[in-house]
Structure 1
């Protein structure tokens, strides 16, 4: 299962991947841990909270919306549709940031930038302030892209399962989920949505395909696997993520260390999150990083680097939960 699945997901042969990937993504990474995981699922030994996920009634987006509403109520200004063009750095200190909104380029003077941008994007935004060795390191790491292919079907339920995994290389998608099955909710009646995860990078054959074409291709792949194919596709649409997963090849760590050392030395600049720390994690891990960053900000507005370093050590213990 794992070898072809990893080859599909990362676009690399398993032997070209770093061992760190297994430690960060496999919770049963040793025999004792694996045995504890197995026994924790047995009747009578299973905790009442083990393996429970609570899904918002209207989907995961409700979590993001509520966080945004709470931030706005506290005085934050959220600018959507804004693209960071440049981060100004002088004498190893942040001095400003330029943001493009449509045709308008806005410049803001600031002494602090907290970024969850992909590392490669952040390094590019820092411009001429970046040493050549750091630029070379950024050019040597990569992220794996992902196309989320959604199809709306005119049926109450596609299957009874919330997720299907596809290790076969002959099937381009890696996972299929049916969000309606995540909870006991039955709405909307007479309709369900499937979400397929298609590992793909900008410029490859799938990235250039249209939404309807991808939707029809997806339905064909499912049919070839023996899954239902009788419901009508009402609509197909996609979301394309160029930086879905950090790729842990055998050399990624030394390149990351070069970038991390330089970024850590820039006063006022903080990078965190999955893309910002090149980390494999879940949403609750990403939120833990945000809480750690806030915890490191002292009441006088100064950033406690030692406290943040301690949080970084804790982040390194995170293991992806599926």
Structure 2
């Protein structure tokens, strides 16, 4: 049995539609590198739309910018500082040299950085850290990056070599860096096409085999009893037994759904130590096309009320009516009422709007679980909880179930491994080892992000 709390499957990979505009829960661009996931997408959308892309999907070459100091730069910042004021370019290059010298001298912060700020300083220099990594991540995480551990960055922050950084400083554009240089997206618009296709496949399998249990939506899990191997579903009079349990419930909530008498004190303490970032963003519809041609842009400066802006309709035209636009705007403030006129004026400045008069409508959205916080307590707390879950026969997976930072493909692979575990093809220890090995392995410098 597959149980989903919401009325539709998909979690954060869902879409809203209004007046011809389509909005995902901010950017949900699909990057597939694993052949198993490529085959899965092809099986869910049989046929081909060219170049081996699944039918009904398009492959898009990423257009990403950074807006800083009144200049629109290529992504990533650390490899494309040409165009900034010359004194800032000098500061960034000098910082790069000083960081490499500090590493050669064996200075601890440069050799073995203990927090994300030191990682940025050690890898790119003080200037690049000060003008991009520190302010941008402070806006994104709602905390100073010196409180973040550096482990999560290895795949998701491009690490150009010094030659690339210098080349980008003198105007030789450095593009194609990062794991998401190209992405796939449904041609008809809306990333929810993927989870809906998965749901249809599950329903077809259940219909063909009476022994299979159906998918149940709009059903929350109220309580989990690992000792009795049963769950209490919302609205059900009786408990539902299970042989093996896979959960994608956010990790602290999963622990909270177990009777505290069954949860060892160290596990309860570990769950209490987990932290996360709440999200507030805007769905913005416009009456005219977006003047910028990028798909998303990073905005590190504090004077802007947002840190990232994305344009769905620049990636796939069907995300908005003809000659209109659909955007998402990720806000720095997650608590107060958004100052929409000020936000609109700031969007004009970064070329996401031609004029504030172009706004058709704007919707404020909140997400309780957005990013997992990688602080000093994270690694030990997650290891403690996962070891206990393994011992009681529960597999917790996905971004929030595994309490990690990952891509959609990573979550799909996590689900695949969990399914293999549940069917006896992969034991818990092997799964834990495989996940740890994958997360610890850095990607090549020119292709990671």
1:95 paired to 2:218: no
Separation (CA, whole Å) in 2 of partners of 1:232 and 1:286: 37
Q: How much has 1:253 moved relative to structure 2?
A: 1.4
> 1:17 matched to which residue of 2?
148
Pick closer, same or farther for the CA change 1:284–1:186 going to 2, 3 Å.
closer
> 1:114 matched to which residue of 2?
246
> 1:312 matched to which residue of 2?
435
> 1:194 matched to which residue of 2?
327
Q: How much has 1:158 moved relative to structure 2?
A: 4.4
Pick closer, same or farther for the CA change 1:187–1:199 going to 2, 3 Å.
closer
**Which SS does the other structure have where 2:436 is aligned?**
helix
Gaps of 5+ in 2: 1-131, 207-212
Separation (CA, whole Å) in 2 of partners of 1:74 and 1:252: 39
1:73 paired to 2:204: yes
> 2:315 matched to which residue of 1?
182
> 2:275 matched to which residue of 1?
142
Given that 1:100 and 1:106 are in contact with CA atoms closer than 8 Å, whether structure 2 keeps it comes out as no
Q: How much has 1:118 moved relative to structure 2?
A: 1.0
Separation (CA, whole Å) in 2 of partners of 1:231 and 1:216: 10
Separation (CA, whole Å) in 1 of partners of 2:328 and 2:214: 32
Q: How much has 1:83 moved relative to structure 2?
A: 2.1
Q: Deviations over 1:221-250 (max 9, x none)?
A: 324556532443222223321111100112
Separation (CA, whole Å) in 1 of partners of 2:163 and 2:442: 14
Q: Deviations over 1:94-147 (max 9, x none)?
A: 52112225xx66632223220111111111011221112211111111110112
**Which SS does the other structure have where 1:152 is aligned?**
strand
Aligned length: 298
Separation (CA, whole Å) in 1 of partners of 2:190 and 2:412: 18
Separation (CA, whole Å) in 1 of partners of 2:164 and 2:389: 37
Given that 1:155 and 1:231 are in contact with CA atoms closer than 8 Å, whether structure 2 keeps it comes out as no
Gaps of 5+ in 1: none
Pick closer, same or farther for the CA change 1:117–1:318 going to 2, 3 Å.
farther
Equivalent runs, 1:144-159 vs 2, <5 Å: 144-159=277-292
1:283 paired to 2:408: yes
Separation (CA, whole Å) in 1 of partners of 2:332 and 2:389: 29
**Which SS does the other structure have where 1:296 is aligned?**
helix
> 1:8 matched to which residue of 2?
139
My pick for the range that moved more, 235-244 or 73-82, is 73-82
Pick closer, same or farther for the CA change 1:109–1:259 going to 2, 3 Å.
same
Pick closer, same or farther for the CA change 1:64–1:302 going to 2, 3 Å.
closer
1:271 paired to 2:367: no
Given that 1:25 and 1:280 are in contact with CA atoms closer than 8 Å, whether structure 2 keeps it comes out as no
Equivalent runs, 1:168-179 vs 2, <5 Å: 168-179=301-312
Q: How much has 1:199 moved relative to structure 2?
A: 4.8
Q: Deviations over 1:36-69 (max 9, x none)?
A: xx9xxx99xx8xx993212112221111111111
Separation (CA, whole Å) in 2 of partners of 1:158 and 1:98: 52
Pick closer, same or farther for the CA change 1:226–1:152 going to 2, 3 Å.
closer
Given that 2:245 and 2:422 are in contact with CA atoms closer than 8 Å, whether structure 1 keeps it comes out as no
Kindly name which structure, 1 or 2, has the bigger radius of gyration based on alpha carbons.
Answer: 2
Pick closer, same or farther for the CA change 1:260–1:172 going to 2, 3 Å.
farther
